[in-house]
Amino acid sequence: MAKRSRSGLKHKRQSEKRRLGNQAVLSRLKTLTKGTLTSPDKLAQALSELDRAARKGIVHQNTAARKKSRLMKKLASGT
């Protein structure tokens, strides 16, 4: 059963707000990553957004580094 105290309700509101914000950032990251594969000039923007998401704690730093590495590798191979 969910908390009914004032602080519990506030925490629920805050976490919902954070979840929606994080969801938007993750969706943008996916879009940028896919866009980079079709148009390599968007690479700098995608890498910047990945770094920003890692800095804000939306994705783990290692996850961001791994995604950046795989993206660069894909672009270098020309696939």
pLDDT at 79: 58
CA atoms within 13 A on the CB side of 27: 6
Asked if the structure places residue 11 within a domain, the reply is: yes
Residue type, 29: L
Residue 33 lies in a domain: yes
Residue 22's pLDDT is: 96
What is the structure's pLDDT at 51?
96
Q: Can you give the residue range of the structural domain that contains 69?
A: 6-77
pLDDT at 58: 96
| 8 A C-beta contact, residue 57 and residue 25 | no
Pairwise CA distance, residues 30 & 69, whole Å: 15
Our count of domains for the chain comes to 1
Dist. CA 70–CA 51, nearest whole Å: 14
Full-model pTM: 0.81
Q: Is residue 1 part of a domain?
A: no
Weakly modelled stretches of the chain, pLDDT under 50: none
pLDDT of residue 3: 65
